[in-house]
Structure 1
Amino acid sequence: MRLLLVEDHVPLADELLAALERQGYAVDWLADGRDALVQGRCEPYDLIILDLGLPGMSGLEVLAAWRAASLATPVLVLTARGAWAERIEGLQAGADDYLSKPFHPQELQLRIQALLRRAHGLANGAPLRVAGLQLDECQQSVRHGAEEIALSAVEFRLLRYFMLHAGQVLSKSRLAEHLYDGESERDSNVIEVHVNHLRRKLGREVIETRRGQGYRFAGPAS
């Protein structure tokens, strides 16, 4: 899953980048509202974390412009603790959730998970379950029945994306766009390699190849 973090306080941004990457997300970081306005429209993010006090253009203005342009990407707004007026304004402008600073990294992680589940019509608070597999995002573990399956970090990210989009045909280019940040080289042949690794560990029948289209993961998710 690929996220956009818009935060101008560098120490906090560094901390959040490290935490989100440990949780298996590909993250792009911007510190200016004007840059965020453009990139949020152009890149296929799964979720955006948006601070309101930004240089160049305020977070509220950026959010309102995104929603006016029909950008439906879930947005989690960061506000100062006690700034209830900002929270109300953010929700009115189209925010899906808000988090007050300072906050615990695990709370951010759980709110992100909840928003992503909601965006895919899935219930929050339980492991993802598809085709006999159980994926726990907090523990970053995957089980088939009682057996735990060891996955690399990239394989975990790829499997999570497949499970959240179970039953859908996903092209190699779409998978690359959502698994890597903007600084990474995106090679569709590398995606094929990771898909083959997953097949060896999970069973070939779990990921179907649609020739000329991409891949389809067994579904639906629950």
Structure 2
Amino acid sequence: MRVLLIEDDEGTAAYVVRVLERIGAEIEHCRDLASGLNAALTAPCDVLILDRMLPDGEGLDLIARLREAAVEAPVLMLSALGSASHRVDGLERGADDYLPKPFEPAELIARVKALARRAGQQAHPAIMVSGDIELHVKARTAHRAGKSLALSPKEFDLLKYFFEHEGVTVTREMLLRDVWGMNFDPQTNVVDVNVSRLRRKLEEGFDGAVLRTVRGEGYLFGAAA
């Protein structure tokens, strides 16, 4: 397993390296966003571990740049900013998981393994199609009736999840777990807000509903919605 670590604190970085070397991981360590972006674009990694507060900016800003460059490696945020609101913000802006500092070695290992396993299981065609909607997986772009849809990183992840579960009622708990990586209840309406925004972008100005709410159950995506 190859891990790219972007962390400016030398003590934390050395600790992460020691922990992950126990499971045979190969770790490349970068100390800022610029070198981390270059490393991510130069050689593929299985998991990317990213700090938030870096010398040249906010770590979360790197995620969108990575996805625009078709870097699909799952991102684990590792940050001292560990409140529920910080975690929700990080997950909403594209992180696949969020681990506050300080952390237990066993939990870091478990989360890295889970992300690597999940990434390995996700095999998608280059283009996914539902009715007149196209999802370009590598480019992380979406179109309806030939028109580009301006989706945020999390909205794209959400739409991809709906594509993968087309015709199946998707519950709020499934979305929290699989799209936001939340195994806790942050008492937030993050799912409802993002689904509402996605539905608006998918349907306003177009013919036909494609995403509907199933009262008391969840959401249903597809041409028959």
1:67 matched to 2:37? The reply is: no
CA apart distance, 1:74 = 0.8
SS of the residue aligned with 2:100? strand
Q: What is aligned with 1:19?
A: 19
Q: 1:34, 1:57 within 8 Å by CA — same for their partners in 2?
A: no
1:1-222 → structure 2 map (5 Å cutoff): 1-80=1-80, 82-121=82-121
Distance 1:91 1:56, change over 3 A: same
For this pair of structures, how many residues does the alignment match? Answer: 122
Write the distance in 2 (CA, Å) between the matches of 1:26 and 1:115: 15
Q: 2:2, 2:47 within 8 Å by CA — same for their partners in 1?
A: yes
Write the distance in 2 (CA, Å) between the matches of 1:9 and 1:65: 23
Structure 2 counterpart of 1:20, which letter? L
Q: 2:82, 2:99 within 8 Å by CA — same for their partners in 1?
A: no
- The alignment yields a C-alpha RMSD, in angstroms, of 1.6
Q: Which runs of 4+ in 1 moved over 6 A?
A: none
Q: 1:46, 1:116 within 8 Å by CA — same for their partners in 2?
A: yes
Structure 2 counterpart of 1:115, which letter? L
**CA-to-partner distance for each residue in 1:151-185, whole Å, 9 max, x for gaps?**
xxxxxxxxxxxxxxxxxxxxxxxxxxxxxxxxxxx
SS of the residue aligned with 2:38? helix
Q: 1:6, 1:32 within 8 Å by CA — same for their partners in 2?
A: yes
Structure 2 counterpart of 1:98, which letter? Y
Q: 1:74, 1:115 within 8 Å by CA — same for their partners in 2?
A: yes
Structure 2 counterpart of 1:86, which letter? H
Q: 1:67, 1:94 within 8 Å by CA — same for their partners in 2?
A: no
Unaligned runs of at least 5 residues, structure 2: 123-225
**CA-to-partner distance for each residue in 1:171-215, whole Å, 9 max, x for gaps?**
xxxxxxxxxxxxxxxxxxxxxxxxxxxxxxxxxxxxxxxxxxxxx
CA apart distance, 1:60 = 1.1
CA apart distance, 1:69 = 2.1
Write the distance in 1 (CA, Å) between the matches of 2:82 and 2:25: 29
CA apart distance, 1:34 = 1.2
Q: 2:4, 2:48 within 8 Å by CA — same for their partners in 1?
A: yes
**CA-to-partner distance for each residue in 1:97-142, whole Å, 9 max, x for gaps?**
11011000110000011111111229xxxxxxxxxxxxxxxxxxxx
Q: 1:5, 1:49 within 8 Å by CA — same for their partners in 2?
A: yes
Write the distance in 1 (CA, Å) between the matches of 2:23 and 2:114: 14
SS of the residue aligned with 2:39? helix
Distance 1:34 1:85, change over 3 A: farther
SS of the residue aligned with 1:77? strand
> Could you tell me the percent identity over the aligned residues?
43
Distance 1:82 1:96, change over 3 A: closer
CA apart distance, 1:81 = 5.0
Q: Which has the higher contact order (CA 8 A, sep 6+)?
A: 1
Write the distance in 2 (CA, Å) between the matches of 1:52 and 1:82: 11
Write the distance in 2 (CA, Å) between the matches of 1:61 and 1:78: 14
